[in-house]
Amino acid sequence: MSEMVRVLLLDASAFILGYEASEGDQKHYTVTSVLEEVRDDLQRIRLENAIKYGLIRVVSPTPESTARVKSIISELGESATLSRTDTELLALGLQLREEGHEPTVVTDDYSVQNVATRLGLSFKGLGTPGIKRVFEWVIYCPGCRRQFQESQPDGVCPICGTALKRRPGKKVDLNG
Ligand SMILES: [Zn+2]
Protein backbone atom coordinates (compact mmCIF):
# COMPACT_ATOMS: atom_id res chain seq x y z
CA MET A 1 0.00 0.00 0.00
CA SER A 2 1.46 3.31 -1.00
CA GLU A 3 0.66 6.35 1.03
CA MET A 4 -0.37 9.34 -1.02
CA VAL A 5 1.28 12.60 -0.09
CA ARG A 6 -1.27 15.38 -0.07
CA VAL A 7 -0.18 18.57 -1.75
CA LEU A 8 -1.83 21.93 -2.38
CA LEU A 9 -1.25 23.79 -5.63
CA LEU A 10 -1.64 27.53 -5.29
CA ASP A 11 -2.47 29.93 -8.10
CA ALA A 12 -1.85 33.67 -8.11
CA SER A 13 -5.29 34.48 -6.70
CA ALA A 14 -4.39 32.50 -3.58
CA PHE A 15 -1.53 34.88 -2.85
CA ILE A 16 -3.44 37.96 -3.93
CA LEU A 17 -6.22 37.01 -1.51
CA GLY A 18 -3.66 36.58 1.25
CA TYR A 19 -3.39 32.82 1.51
CA GLU A 20 -0.65 31.97 3.99
CA ALA A 21 1.11 28.66 3.76
CA SER A 22 1.92 27.20 7.12
CA GLU A 23 3.96 24.22 8.13
CA GLY A 24 1.71 21.23 8.32
CA ASP A 25 1.21 17.84 6.82
CA GLN A 26 0.36 19.26 3.41
CA LYS A 27 3.05 20.49 1.08
CA HIS A 28 2.45 23.65 -0.93
CA TYR A 29 3.47 24.03 -4.54
CA THR A 30 3.21 26.73 -7.13
CA VAL A 31 4.75 27.49 -10.54
CA THR A 32 7.33 30.11 -11.49
CA SER A 33 4.98 32.24 -13.56
CA VAL A 34 2.82 32.90 -10.48
CA LEU A 35 5.61 35.14 -9.25
CA GLU A 36 5.03 37.40 -12.27
CA GLU A 37 1.31 37.69 -11.53
CA VAL A 38 1.70 38.78 -7.93
CA ARG A 39 2.52 42.45 -8.33
CA ASP A 40 1.56 43.94 -4.99
CA ASP A 41 4.77 44.55 -2.99
CA LEU A 42 3.51 43.18 0.29
CA GLN A 43 1.99 40.05 -1.25
CA ARG A 44 5.17 39.49 -3.21
CA ILE A 45 7.42 39.80 -0.16
CA ARG A 46 5.19 37.40 1.73
CA LEU A 47 5.33 34.91 -1.14
CA GLU A 48 9.09 35.24 -1.55
CA ASN A 49 9.60 34.64 2.16
CA ALA A 50 7.40 31.57 2.09
CA ILE A 51 9.53 30.23 -0.76
CA LYS A 52 12.75 31.14 1.04
CA TYR A 53 11.71 29.28 4.16
CA GLY A 54 10.61 26.24 2.20
CA LEU A 55 6.90 26.61 2.93
CA ILE A 56 6.13 26.79 -0.77
CA ARG A 57 7.97 24.92 -3.48
CA VAL A 58 8.23 26.42 -6.94
CA VAL A 59 8.31 23.81 -9.68
CA SER A 60 7.94 24.02 -13.45
CA PRO A 61 5.88 21.29 -15.11
CA THR A 62 7.42 19.06 -17.76
CA PRO A 63 6.72 19.87 -21.43
CA GLU A 64 4.85 16.53 -21.68
CA SER A 65 2.34 17.29 -18.95
CA THR A 66 1.97 20.87 -20.23
CA ALA A 67 1.15 19.56 -23.72
CA ARG A 68 -1.44 17.14 -22.34
CA VAL A 69 -3.16 19.86 -20.34
CA LYS A 70 -3.12 22.20 -23.33
CA SER A 71 -4.97 19.68 -25.47
CA ILE A 72 -7.65 19.19 -22.77
CA ILE A 73 -8.00 22.96 -22.41
CA SER A 74 -8.54 23.34 -26.11
CA GLU A 75 -11.05 20.46 -26.12
CA LEU A 76 -13.05 22.25 -23.43
CA GLY A 77 -12.88 25.59 -25.26
CA GLU A 78 -11.07 27.27 -22.37
CA SER A 79 -7.98 28.37 -24.30
CA ALA A 80 -9.00 32.02 -24.34
CA THR A 81 -9.67 32.22 -20.62
CA LEU A 82 -6.68 30.44 -19.14
CA SER A 83 -3.31 32.10 -18.65
CA ARG A 84 0.08 30.46 -18.97
CA THR A 85 0.19 30.29 -15.18
CA ASP A 86 -3.16 28.47 -15.03
CA THR A 87 -1.98 25.97 -17.65
CA GLU A 88 1.32 25.36 -15.88
CA LEU A 89 -0.38 24.92 -12.52
CA LEU A 90 -2.79 22.33 -13.92
CA ALA A 91 0.09 20.56 -15.69
CA LEU A 92 2.01 20.46 -12.41
CA GLY A 93 -1.04 18.94 -10.76
CA LEU A 94 -1.17 16.19 -13.35
CA GLN A 95 2.54 15.58 -12.96
CA LEU A 96 2.50 15.45 -9.15
CA ARG A 97 -0.34 12.96 -9.26
CA GLU A 98 1.66 10.73 -11.59
CA GLU A 99 4.52 10.97 -9.09
CA GLY A 100 2.23 9.54 -6.40
CA HIS A 101 0.96 12.71 -4.76
CA GLU A 102 -2.62 13.67 -4.14
CA PRO A 103 -2.86 17.24 -5.43
CA THR A 104 -5.61 19.76 -4.74
CA VAL A 105 -5.68 22.94 -6.79
CA VAL A 106 -6.49 26.01 -4.71
CA THR A 107 -8.17 28.50 -7.01
CA ASP A 108 -11.20 30.74 -7.31
CA ASP A 109 -11.07 30.69 -11.09
CA TYR A 110 -14.02 28.76 -12.55
CA SER A 111 -12.17 27.93 -15.76
CA VAL A 112 -9.27 26.44 -13.80
CA GLN A 113 -11.79 24.49 -11.71
CA ASN A 114 -13.51 23.26 -14.84
CA VAL A 115 -10.29 21.95 -16.38
CA ALA A 116 -9.14 20.50 -13.03
CA THR A 117 -12.41 18.53 -12.87
CA ARG A 118 -11.86 17.16 -16.35
CA LEU A 119 -8.31 16.14 -15.42
CA GLY A 120 -9.63 14.38 -12.33
CA LEU A 121 -7.80 16.76 -10.00
CA SER A 122 -9.57 17.98 -6.89
CA PHE A 123 -9.78 21.67 -6.20
CA LYS A 124 -10.96 23.99 -3.55
CA GLY A 125 -11.96 27.60 -3.76
CA LEU A 126 -10.80 30.34 -1.44
CA GLY A 127 -14.11 32.10 -1.17
CA THR A 128 -16.48 31.32 -3.98
CA PRO A 129 -18.44 28.06 -3.93
CA GLY A 130 -16.99 25.45 -6.26
CA ILE A 131 -18.69 24.29 -9.39
CA LYS A 132 -20.74 21.13 -9.19
CA ARG A 133 -20.82 20.34 -12.85
CA VAL A 134 -18.23 20.33 -15.56
CA PHE A 135 -19.26 21.84 -18.85
CA GLU A 136 -17.82 22.44 -22.25
CA TRP A 137 -18.03 25.86 -23.74
CA VAL A 138 -19.71 26.22 -27.09
CA ILE A 139 -17.93 28.81 -29.16
CA TYR A 140 -20.23 30.50 -31.62
CA CYS A 141 -20.31 33.37 -34.06
CA PRO A 142 -23.03 35.98 -33.39
CA GLY A 143 -22.65 37.05 -37.04
CA CYS A 144 -23.09 33.92 -39.15
CA ARG A 145 -24.26 31.62 -36.31
CA ARG A 146 -21.64 28.97 -36.92
CA GLN A 147 -20.39 26.96 -33.98
CA PHE A 148 -16.84 25.86 -33.35
CA GLN A 149 -15.37 23.01 -31.32
CA GLU A 150 -12.22 24.91 -30.49
CA SER A 151 -11.17 28.50 -30.01
CA GLN A 152 -10.19 30.21 -33.22
CA PRO A 153 -7.09 32.34 -33.82
CA ASP A 154 -7.57 35.86 -32.41
CA GLY A 155 -11.05 34.89 -31.23
CA VAL A 156 -12.71 35.86 -34.50
CA CYS A 157 -14.89 33.86 -36.85
CA PRO A 158 -12.77 32.47 -39.72
CA ILE A 159 -15.81 32.73 -42.03
CA CYS A 160 -17.13 36.24 -41.45
CA GLY A 161 -14.62 37.87 -39.12
CA THR A 162 -17.07 38.64 -36.27
CA ALA A 163 -15.71 38.42 -32.73
CA LEU A 164 -16.68 35.01 -31.33
CA LYS A 165 -18.65 34.49 -28.16
CA ARG A 166 -19.12 31.45 -26.01
CA ARG A 167 -21.76 29.93 -23.81
CA PRO A 168 -21.80 26.89 -21.56
CA GLY A 169 -22.74 23.81 -23.57
CA LYS A 170 -23.14 20.19 -22.60
CA LYS A 171 -23.12 19.66 -18.87
CA VAL A 172 -22.11 16.56 -17.00
CA ASP A 173 -23.22 16.22 -13.39
CA LEU A 174 -20.54 15.15 -11.00
CA ASN A 175 -21.20 12.54 -8.34
CA GLY A 176 -22.94 13.80 -5.27
ZN1 LIG B 1 -19.20 34.16 -38.54
Residues 68 and 98 in one domain: yes
pLDDT tens, residue by residue, 82-94: 888 899 999 999 9
Could you tell me the distance, in angstroms and rounded to a whole number, from the CA of residue 148 to the centre of ligand 1?
10
Q: Clarify whether residues 52 and 111 are in a common domain.
A: yes
Separation of alpha carbons 100 and 96, rounded Å: 7
* CATH code for the domain in which residue 159 is found: 2.20.28
One domain, residues 151 and 109: no
Number of domains making up the chain: 2
| Whole-number pLDDT of residue 61 | 95
The model's pLDDT over 49-66, given as tens digits with 9 standing for 90+, comes to 888 988 889 999 999 999
Q: Are residues 143 and 72 in the same domain?
A: no
CA of 169 from ligand 1 middle (Å) equals 19
- pLDDT > 80? residue 16: no
User: pLDDT tier at 143 (50, 70, 90 boundaries)?
Assistant: very high
Q: How confident is the model at residue 144 (pLDDT cuts 50, 70, 90)?
A: very high
Question: Cα(70)–Cα(66) distance, rounded to whole angstroms?
Answer: 6
The answer, as to whether pTM is greater than 0.85, is no
Shared-domain flag, residues 94 and 35: yes
Ligand 1 centre to CA of 159 (Å) is 5
Range of the domain at 56: 5-124
Contact between residue 85 and residue 31 where contact means Cβ atoms under 8 Å apart: yes
Mean pLDDT of 5-20: 78
User: Ligand 1 centroid vs 137 CA: distance in angstroms?
Assistant: 17
Same domain, 28 and 100: yes
Give the distance (Å) from ligand 1 centre to CA of residue 87.
28
Shared domain check, 139 and 85: no
Do 71 and 118 sit in the same domain of this protein?
yes
- Residue 55 in contact with residue 28, Cβ under 8 Å? yes
CA of 163 to the centre of ligand 1 (A): 8
Distance CA 88, CA 31 (A): 7
151 with 75, same domain? no
Query: Are 150 and 104 in a shared domain?
Result: no
